[in-house]
Structure 1
Amino acid sequence: MNALLGSLVVLVNLVTLCNAHCYIMPNPNTPGDLFNECKDLTGVIHPLNSKWKTEYCEECYCDQDGISCCNIVATPVSYDTSKCQKTFNKETCSFTVVEWKNPGKSCFVGGWVL
């Protein structure tokens, strides 16, 4: 019972902190046209129903309506900013939080926001 209650508390906090940044780029609407590909902002063509990650840490998906993209970076919140610093790794699209004086030591993070 305690495990179930603990899981619910974690889930509620995760949903509360989740605020993903997403956007949609619709395909041009021409009556009768059926799209089998999408063109992203950089001009790259993606096949219908494909998924990819961008260099800006977004996950995108191409469907009949166009491209939808969402940020996949979880940003740390509720940590001791006077003692700790967050560092972004672009290759892994992730933050780490370490002590200012001892960068080899991780800091406690109270939550993450998408």
Structure 2
Amino acid sequence: MMKAFLDSLTIFATFVTLCNTQCYFKPNTYFPNDVSNECKESNGVTHSLNSRWRTDNCETCFCSQEGIDCCNMVAKPVNYDTVKCEKILNKETCTYTVVEREDPEKTCDVSDWLV
């Protein structure tokens, strides 16, 4: 009975941690008589209105009439041995692994993840 309770508590804590999403908003800049149907990123790349995309930094973005909404989609490892271990981001899968610095074949324990 106690094990089931602890397992449930662990699952709940994981969901609470994963719901802490980091987002930001970049408003569109309009000029007089501008009827643009797109959003422009700071690097000059444009996206059509109501489109979604994934950035190279593992964020999901959405273009609206008001601007660009982006949210981080990667759970970042926290509370691990940062001296013995390092986190490595796989930008293709948008996931982190935490491995030993001296032996990258060995994974490290991570007690919390932050999105």
Shared fold, TM over 0.5: yes
The answer as to 2:14 corresponding to 1:39 is no
Gapped regions of structure 2 (runs ≥ 5): none
Number of equivalences: 114
CA distance in 1, matches of 2:82, 2:26: 37
8 Å contact from structure 1 (residues 87, 97) kept in 2:
yes
Q: 1:76 to 1:30 in 2, by over 3 A?
A: same
Q: What pairs with 1:2-17 in structure 2 (closer than 5 Å)? A: 6-7=7-8, 9-16=10-17
Gapped regions of structure 1 (runs ≥ 5): none
* TM-score under structure 2 length normalisation: 0.72
% identical equivalent positions: 54
CA distance in 2, matches of 1:107, 1:14: 21
CA RMSD of aligned residues (A): 3.2
8 Å contact from structure 1 (residues 87, 95) kept in 2:
yes
8 Å contact from structure 1 (residues 34, 64) kept in 2:
no
After the TM superposition, list the runs of 4 or more consecutive aligned residues in structure 1 that deviate by more than 4 angstroms: 1-5, 29-35
* TM-score under structure 1 length normalisation: 0.73
